[in-house]
Structure 1
Amino acid sequence: MNPSVRTIFNQNFTEEKYADFLVDLNTGLHKPVEFRVAETPVFLTDDFRDKLIQAGQDIIDVITASNFKDLSEKAIPEKWRVANENDHSHFIALDFGVCKDDAGNIVPKLIEMQGFPSLYGFQVQLGENYRHAFNVPGNQTIFFNDLTKSSYIDLLKETIIGPYQPDEVVLMDVNAPHQKTAVDFYITEKYIGTPVVSLAGLLQEGDQLFYKTESGEKKRIRRIYNRLIFDEIENDPDIFNKVVDIRQPLDVEWITHPNWFYRISKYTMPFLRGRYVPKTQFVHKLATMPDDLQNYVLKPLFSFAGQGVIIDIMDGDIEKLPDPENWILQEKVDYVPVVESPDGGVKVEIRLLYLWPDGHEKPTLAINLARLSRGKMIGVRYNADFDWVGGTVAFMHK
């Protein structure tokens, strides 16, 4: 991490500035941010930034290869397979832990990946609030590929809205206004004009979908900016008797199509190679059991937000799995506490966020999300009792 910018930031940090930062961040929002936002952004060195970019590109090369759909076909659970899949994911999120290699160099290591959108709207506002509250230098940016706020939002519009009008594209989640990430939904609406709609708000006539505007007008939906993860409705087997069954063939475009959530996921990791990728194997394909299981974690393929992960594998854990084909065994990634806080080091995870509009040959690395942790795992739920942890963003030299 960038030591000079960090030193200046820490010297000038006060709890009062942080409190004012949170007030400003929440001002004007649909409702206050429901997850913890960290006291500090991350400041990347040029060297680590370049390693991150290369690590991401190595994975993008696999995702964009001509055989990727064949490779990932078995990733999609049949009960959640949705009709009319397109050719590529419009969003790609790659999570990297900040670690050390065998030579002691600070390097990124892949943790997880998603063919699914993240906080593409919120991160822009978060970066602006950090810059204003803590006087982040003007030569620091949260964007990649020479993007600015203006050109980034143009790319976001091109990806999500495409050739349609903003009110013909809806951001949809199962119970959208009450999601913890709803802050991102409404900031996105502010930036690009896409209304926020819950799954139950979809109206079907034939193979067409509609929604009701705030004025009560029935409006045709041309595209769905999908934020629904099927895990969230897994426990309601009758859900599609009560709402539109979105798995059926419908005359609507998906941004991004739900099948890509599974194609670009933990399922993909055993097919990846390289110095920034931990060794990962499907459990049911293990030829021999590693002798050093303490250096591995067990991850279920079909879960999100770290749920179900077995960090400390005990004797018999693997043999007891009722569905080994739905698990991976992944080499442990040891995070290095590289961010200096007033009372010790903090671990970091950085999510590279790509946008891939229709008509573009390849995805564009656009912006990032970062998370700070002192707990055993990265994520808000594992760090509830600490400070200098939570959601943040990484700045780097322009």
Structure 2
Amino acid sequence: MKSIDVSQLSYPSMKEVAENMSQLAQNGEKPKTAMKGGIWVIREGITPVELYCYLNARFGPPNGIQMLFRSDDSDNLIHWHYTFNYKDETIEIMCMTFRLEIIHSIEFDSPSDAKVEFIKDLKKDFSVYGKNISKFRDKIEKWQLFINPFFRIKSVIEHQLEKLEALKIEELEPLSYPSSAEDLEKLKDRMNHAGELYIEATALGLNIRMLAPVYAESFINLIIFLLAEDDIKTDKRMYDSIVRQQIDIRIKGLHRNCKGFFQAVDYNNTEACKAFHTLMNNRNDLLHGNVDPKKLAYETVYFDGKIPLFNDYRNFSFYSWEASIRNVTPDLAIGDYQVVQDLIAHILICLEDNIRAEVCRFLETKDPGWNESTKRPGILFPSHLVDMFPKFEDEEFNKRVN
């Protein structure tokens, strides 16, 4: 056979499909598609949504046996499954997350050419059912996946914290003063190694401390995005004015501007909020590179004219790298992160239980969805991904996957 005549596809009911599978199982037989034919893996030429709309408009809802086993959500290995009879043969069309699979029991002269022709013929047939396809497509919801800024920043900070802790800066031995030329040569190598570690630690500590305020703001803005009162959501100017307020004002107004708060956030009296307020007061020095000798000072030195008079004995450890990490030490970086975590925990406690559970799920979602027509956010997919390829006992059949 050269190809498939799409007009000859017939659509058995799900009951017929299930009864046929049950009968095969009772007789100890295998489906035709497991004994001959092959598998077409499709990742181009036709999209899952256009094929699904066409099949639904022409035949009806998916009738494949896998529809009996799928859970009523998007967390499935096989999202939809159609079974068709074609003359005396069987064709199964299944959609996974990453591809379409067409399993058939037909022996073609050239399977690759037949696959290409089948896709072309399907797309040509779209025009025949164009009105029904458009009508069906109007019924399905359109969602846009978008990046969750809170999740992204949280992931970056935690990745940097892991790298910072792995450096184990606190375990570096102090550099002792050399007592010979040989010691001095060894000291150079040790200083270079320690310097590289401290530069990395300084970069990570500085990044974490600068991101901590952004991390907090992304959380507050996400709360407002998810829970803002309807009159605020529908009024862009009002919504924008709220998210542009000073962050302490935003936090204090959460219970008034958002749904789901059973109590106000006691910003002025709660220790978590006080610590966060201190963090925000210090943010400008880090974010804008402010020069404040008092805050950045690390030693006192005296001069008699141009003669330096040191207040302490200097050592190689301090002047090679320890001074560089002042104000961005691992302890300070971890501390800033914990301050934000404590603030987040306190605000979540102020939410009603059911609302808190939904918000927490959203916080942990990397790629949530947005329905523009209903102005509704949603969690469309689980955080994990699943995939598989079938493997048949017949090795020759396994080779007929293309």
Fold shared by both chains (TM-score > 0.5): no
Higher helix share: 2
- Which of 1 and 2 has higher RCO (CA within 8 Å, sep 6+)? 1
Instruction: Tell me which structure has the larger Cα radius of gyration.
Output: 2
Length-normalised TM-score, structure 2: 0.20
Length-normalised TM-score, structure 1: 0.20
Higher strand share: 1
